[in-house]
Amino acid sequence: MANKSKEQPKSVEQRLDRLEQKSKGVTQRAYAKRLRALYTQLKTSAKEPAPALALHRSGARTPLFQLQCLGRLHRATVDDEEFLPIHQGFKALEDLLGAVDFSDAMVRRLGESNADSELTAYFVGRRAEACFQLERHLEIAKWRAEGDEEPEAFDEVLEIIEECDWPGAKREKKAVADYFADCATNMQEKLVGGEYNFAELEAGVHEVRRKIRWLSILPASLDGLFVRPADQRVDDELASYCTDAIVRSPFNDFPRRDEVPDPIVVDSPAFLAMSWLINELGSLKDRGQTSDALSNAARDLGDGPKAAATRARKVIGDAPLSHQEIAEKVESMVARFVELGVLTRLAKSAKKV
């Protein structure tokens, strides 16, 4: 890590202001924007009676996903060792916040259905434990300030970003485009090779969605460096994927910005098709995880396998999808996705820089 300049402003907010005003390109502005959002959310949630829950409900997972994505990018394109702490630091935070998110969603679902007070209490306890673990990590990793001091974790991240020898605009654009294309190509090859077992919810369905999702998060993390042209004609074979909900999603909107006159232009129909697949995989993954979580909770409370399944079904409201049923649906979707060469199209569009 480079030595911190003595001329740097002292507070996190002052340093973020300076980073935005005197940034050397898209990357520093992108970090500054996400770090400011996270810093504000951490400060605001710390004043609440349940800080970890408030942090989750403030939407902190979005900047955390994007900061983790930037760390992954710059490990590959700038300096693996230097950006490792950024990648790992934000991944650890996001993982813990994800556990709060899941347990809170289960509490809300059970509360809305009012179907099983014992299961509700079970997940209230799980949520409390997840919140405790997140609060403990925030304290140990020093993401929150103590007294008048600035958070040490932000100081360390800002030091890397401020002092890094960033590439010029042309080199940065080329490196990012190559990284995006390589990730898309690598994933296409893995899917063609059948490397994933979709009967496995976590290691199969969730892992594929996670890897493809980074290709969606990256453009959203680099304001203006990627553009998805809204007027590009949608070819017939991808038209069914480009639904109104997908087209209008704010996560798929990458408008041109004056400060980035020559952006990376992605294949719009292919990007929208990828977004559709991410959503569908997420829905199937969530159905499977919810069913599993309810059944496992019922077993923890003393039910046998059949009684636990029945109890879960009462909460869900219909017959839960088995892992095999999920696998069959996912295999069909992914096979068509591969056949259409969606990821190959995205890689080729990025390579046109």
Report pLDDT digits (tens) over 103-139: 999 999 898 777 789 999 999 999 999 999 999 999 9
Helix 268-300 crosses helix 323-339 at what angle (to 10 degrees)? 170
**pLDDT (average), residues 191-195:** 95
**pLDDT (average), residues 175-182:** 97
Segment among 208-212, 249-253, 343-347 with least mean pLDDT:
249-253
CA distance 181 to 191: 15
Q: In sequence order, what are the beta bridge partners of 227? A: 265
Q: Residue 203: pLDDT above 80?
A: yes
Coil, strand or helix: which one is 227? strand
Please say whether the beta carbons of 83 and 35 come within 8 A. no
CA distance 343 to 131: 37
**pLDDT (average), residues 150-164:** 93
Segment among 11-15, 145-149, 304-308, 324-328 with least mean pLDDT:
145-149
Q: How confident is the model at residue 3 (pLDDT cuts 50, 70, 90)?
A: very low
Residues 6+ apart with CB under 8 A from 196: 190, 203, 204, 207, 208
Please say whether the beta carbons of 199 and 323 come within 8 A. yes
> How confident is the model at residue 249, as a pLDDT?
92
**pLDDT (average), residues 63-78:** 97
Coil, strand or helix: which one is 57? helix
CA distance 146 to 149: 5
Q: Residue 100: pLDDT above 50?
A: yes
Determine what percent of the chain is predicted with pLDDT higher than 70: 96
Residue 210: how many CA atoms within 13 Å on its side-chain side?
13
> How confident is the model at residue 9, as a pLDDT?
60
Q: How confident is the model at residue 7 (pLDDT cuts 50, 70, 90)?
A: low
> How confident is the model at residue 316, as a pLDDT?
82
Q: Residue 42: pLDDT above 80?
A: yes
Residue 155: how many CA atoms within 13 Å on its side-chain side?
15
* Of the candidates 146, 147, 164, the residue with the CA atom closest to the CA atom of residue 156: 164
Q: Residue 25: pLDDT above 90?
A: no
CA distance 329 to 306: 25
Per-residue CA distances from 242 to 239, 265, 276 (Å): 5, 18, 7
Contacts within 8 Å (CB) and 24+ apart, 270-273: 270/238, 270/342, 270/343, 270/345, 270/346, 270/349, 271/216, 271/219, 271/228, 271/346, 272/228, 272/234, 272/238, 272/241, 272/242, 272/246, 272/247, 273/238, 273/241, 273/242, 273/337, 273/340, 273/342
Q: How confident is the model at residue 319 (pLDDT cuts 50, 70, 90)?
A: low
* Of the candidates 262, 21, 64, the residue with the CA atom closest to the CA atom of residue 162: 21
CA distance 50 to 298: 27
Q: Average pLDDT of the chain?
A: 92
Q: In sequence order, what are the beta bridge partners of 226? A: 264
Q: Residue 6: pLDDT above 80?
A: no
Identify the residue with better confidence: 168 or 57.
57
Q: Residue 47: pLDDT above 80?
A: yes
Segment among 1-5, 110-114, 335-339 with least mean pLDDT:
1-5
Please say whether the beta carbons of 311 and 116 come within 8 A. yes
> How confident is the model at residue 134, as a pLDDT?
98
Site of tokens 């900061």: 67
> How confident is the model at residue 4, as a pLDDT?
46
> How confident is the model at residue 318, as a pLDDT?
67
Identify the residue with better confidence: 249 or 318.
249
Looking at residue 248, its amino acid is R
Q: Residue 8: pLDDT above 70?
A: no
Q: Compute and round to an integer the Cα radius of gyration of the chain.
A: 22
Greatest mean pLDDT among 10-14, 15-19, 328-332: 328-332
Determine what percent of the chain is predicted with pLDDT higher than 90: 77
